[in-house]
Structure 1
Amino acid sequence: MAKSVYRRKAIAAASAGFVVVSLGLSLTSAAGAASAGQETSATANTGQALELIRTKTSLLGKHYWYQQTYNGLPVIGGYLARHVDKAGKVTSIKDGRDAIPSNLSTTAKVPAATATKTANAAVAARAARSRGNGGKNATLVPTATNGTAQLAVVGGKDARLVWNVTSRSVEGVTRTLVDAKSGATVESKVITRNADGRGVVFDPNPVVSERNGKLQDADDASTDELFPAHKAVILRNLDGNGKLEGKYVRIVAAEGGVAQSANHRFLYERDDDRFEQVMAYYHVNQTQEYIHKLGFTEVNNASQDFEINTFTGDNSFYDPSTDTITMGSGGVDDAEDAEVIWHEYGHAIQDDIVPGYGESLQAGAMGEGFGDYWAVTMSVPVSRGFDLPCVMDWDATSYTTEEPHCLRRTDTGKTMDDLVGQVHADGEIWSHALWDIHGALGRDKANKVILQGTFFYAPDTSMADAARVTVQSARLLYGKAAAEKVTTAFKARKIL
């Protein structure tokens, strides 16, 4: 069952819990509700409310996430998070709500179809500009397709009713906010978590397993040079329905059709498109088994939807609006490189833990950095130490000329002085910090600390704030010495 079917719950309470009155929050009543084991959402005369949308359990306690609403409509970016320790004591509350005028109308004057057309026009225009820049994304299609339009509210000084439209394009999935009164475009923002690259269905990829940076894609052929990289594996946790569907992964769409086998024997070489489907299933299942080994039982603990080779561009992306990872087929097929799969799954992990994650530029950069780091740490057991900081080294053979072939690295030496306002480039600052923590604490301890810290992120967190909660998680899990090592890693990147 895909986690995208999470059902939002709003439990009204008259006398306890979070009460929204002119955006004031009763921390006393919140703490009281926590002590009593209650989770509540209450409305005031203003029409504003909090809806409990997710409850997560981590190593240190529980984490309750609330969506701010106004007259039943979601407030874009409006949230409240309450963190409770194992004893039921509230340890912190993060209030990310926006002010909404009590007289704001929720009646749309612009039809949904008109808003969708406006949104797609804005997306198509930006996609055209992107193609004009050349490079890897120069020939990607389509420019935009119709998406869903839902009413929502934007808060703050320019509070308004908007249509929230999602569209697919060359850039992945875009969220466009269209003023429901005037029809003007308020914002158009890419919400996919992108990774540029291709790969093979190996462990993790042919360049690493064969320790050979000269290997070439050869138009998806099973060449003599690539054949030794094929590895026989056991596919665990299958549902048993003859498809690549299981406890943690579900292939929902694929070029040429979804792989099926009555006896569950999915034996294909890399020149068969079904090979990439097996790669996605195997490597995500491996990831979840590892996360459970670390002690986490609610980190994307559901069947993750994948679409394989359904996007012809040289790109892959995670779509938080549908909770789907799409693997592209341009260049080296992306799902042929486990590090591309792991990177995209890293985005799904963060989105599962923190609803709406990635609202700020630095949060987006951290998402890319975490995805790169997660790809590298998952490679550790199978890479035999082969240039571990190099990310997506098989995928990168289709668009780089020098060895080693790397899309990005986790050891660039970048600091906050090197910020350029581009999420993939700035993400290398964060990934280097995480990689240093990995070296200081060891793989398992580092990943426990990093995942635990994520539970305390805000959707629009800064690197400094995220670093502080990661240090705190290290202290609570492993003591002062571990916290000092984590602090040192962040200071080296000038994050703290």
Structure 2
Amino acid sequence: MAKRVIAVVTAGLATVSMGLSFTSAAGAAPESSAANPSGLKLIKTKTSLLGKHFWYQQTYKGLPVINGYYARHVTKGGGVQIADGRDAVPASLDVTAKVPSATATKSANAAVAARAARARIAGPEKDVTPVPTATDGAAQLAVVGGPNARLVWNVTSRSAQGVTRSLVDAKTGSLMESKVISDHADGRGIVFDPNPVVSERNEKLTDQDDADTDELFPAHKSVVLRNLAGNGKLEGTYVNIVAAKGGVAESPNNRFLYYRDDDRFEQVMAYYQVNQTQEYIHSLGFTEVNNESQDFEINTYAGDNSFYDPSTDTITMGEGGVDDGEDAEVIWHEYGHAIHDDVVPGYGESLQAGAIGEGFGDYWAVTMSVPVSRNFDLPCVMDWDATSYTSTEPHCLRRTDTGKTTDDIVNQVHDDGEIWSHALWDIHKALGRNKANKVILEGTFFYAPDTSFADAARVTVQAARLLYGKAAAAKVTEAFQARKIL
């Protein structure tokens, strides 16, 4: 039965009724006055310029009725308007579930994952399958009203398409409905991927004060910006540009098409590259590795440096030399710090923990470059950014293949980080990109805030053993032994 809506306007002693008759949740005619019918739960009260608005959720035996609503709009003059969106529910409907919530959640998520995989817009260099997330308590019992009234599990999932609501019959387990309920949108942008030195395979390129030169123009790449909130800003599921030199980029049609001579270019870079990172992390099966909209401030620091601030959970990209936001490896490195801070609260309380953080950031930049770099000197970190402060070729801030061991510790986190990044890079080569990153990220969950090289290595080996068996654990152990960590 279609919903019926009635509006009642009361002014003084006169009452005017407009609309149609309607049935209550139990199928009987509700009260004729503006008083609230039974079976409603007040969920929101709002005040506007003209009055107050009371929104109610229709319930049946304490369970919410999907899409069942009732609203009272009380004007300042005393008028009352009623919006009734309740559905009829038979009094005999049994609300005892036969299908467990876990079964319903698994069924719903399988459908969401399959649809996200079919619908994704991704180039072959970023071919990932976003995996939905269903947190504890995501499945809730509810009722669907109308002629086919029934008890359902209302399952909320997340995927690269956004937030999805699935309705699973609580008696039979059949999937009744699955639809995206969030307002995410796709947009277009222009980026370097990962940076001009790599994409053009040219160590001779220079910054030239942000000029869009003939040599640098071919490095620009048109991309799809997924998971945007659709509010005309670079804000989405995994990234939020909160501040930027010259103002935050805005586009009513979500087309953020700027070249490097425009300060907004680096905002697009941060959005695109971090979104790519999170889609990749989700493809590995992780749903709680900085799974949030990470705040970025772009070109707001005049120096040639970028940093992650754990006190505000914000990444700031500097504009000294080559604008740091022009090099995806700088973005990925800083995002590595945000990953550690998210997974291990208070991370970095010891010198070696700090070195692990720097080493992981370098490694993460390199592993994220693998699909787009065509094997161009992969262990070289931040090839483009480094052109402004290095004179020798190749231009690298640091490398992940220096050969350093714990014999070379100098108690400086960036230098000592090369010991850790080399170990991770060897694991990458031994296990392959995806297996290595599953092992490395899983091990991170067991770090202490003040972890040491040895302790972090041991939990990483354990993660390899549990995920992939003794042979994989042996390869990980060998990588750490080669750096004299174990």
Alignment pair present for 1:266 and 2:256 = yes
Which of 336, 348, 367 does residue 346 from structure 1 map onto?
336
Distance 1:326 1:456 in 2: 28
Distance 2:290 2:483 in 1: 29
Q: What's the counterpart of residue 309 of structure 1?
A: 299
SS at match of 2:386: helix
Report matched runs for 1:55-454 at 5 Å: 201-454=191-444
Q: What's the counterpart of residue 146 of structure 2?
A: none
Give the CA deviation at 1:216.
0.5
Distance 1:494 1:245 in 2: 43
Give the CA deviation at 1:286.
0.0
Which gives a bigger RCO, structure 1 or 2 (Cα 8 Å, sep 6+)?
Answer: 1
Q: Contact 2:403–2:419 (CA<8 Å) still a contact in 1? A: yes
Give the CA deviation at 1:246.
0.1
Q: Contact 1:276–1:308 (CA<8 Å) still a contact in 2? A: yes
Q: What's the counterpart of residue 484 of structure 2?
A: 494
Q: Contact 1:393–1:407 (CA<8 Å) still a contact in 2? A: yes
SS at match of 1:221: coil
Q: What's the counterpart of residue 15 of structure 1?
A: none
Distance 2:319 2:370 in 1: 26
Q: Contact 2:245–2:298 (CA<8 Å) still a contact in 1? A: yes
Give the CA deviation at 1:320.
0.3
In structure 2, list runs of 5 or more residues that go unmatched.
1-134, 136-189
Amino acid across the alignment from 2:229: D
Amino acid across the alignment from 1:246: G
Cα root mean square deviation, aligned: 1.0
Q: Contact 2:191–2:223 (CA<8 Å) still a contact in 1? A: no
Give the CA deviation at 1:201.
4.1
**Which is higher, the Rg of structure 1 or of structure 2?**
2
Distance 1:437 1:351 in 2: 23
SS at match of 1:282: helix
Write out per-residue CA displacement over residues 318-366 of structure 1, whole angstroms, 9 at most, x where no aligned residue: 0000000000000000000000000000000000000000000000000
Q: What's the counterpart of residue 475 of structure 2?
A: 485
Distance 1:226 1:403 in 2: 18
SS at match of 2:227: coil
- Percent sequence identity over aligned pairs: 86
Give the CA deviation at 1:368.
0.2
Distance 2:209 2:334 in 1: 24
Distance 1:459 1:410 in 2: 23
Amino acid across the alignment from 2:484: K
Give the CA deviation at 1:485.
0.1
Count of aligned residue pairs for this structure pair = 298
Amino acid across the alignment from 2:483: R
Amino acid across the alignment from 1:210: E
Normalising by structure 2, what TM-score? 0.61
Distance 2:238 2:459 in 1: 28
Q: Contact 1:201–1:338 (CA<8 Å) still a contact in 2? A: no
SS at match of 2:221: coil
Write out per-residue CA displacement over residues 269-290 of structure 1, whole angstroms, 9 at most, x where no aligned residue: 0000000000000000000000
In structure 1, list runs of 5 or more residues that go unmatched.
1-61, 63-199
Alignment pair present for 1:467 and 2:439 = no
Q: Contact 1:201–1:335 (CA<8 Å) still a contact in 2? A: no
SS at match of 1:321: coil
Q: Contact 2:191–2:222 (CA<8 Å) still a contact in 1? A: no
**Divergent runs of 4+, >3 A:** none
SS at match of 2:283: helix
SS at match of 1:461: coil
Distance 1:351 1:437 in 2: 23
Higher strand share: 2
Amino acid across the alignment from 2:352: Q
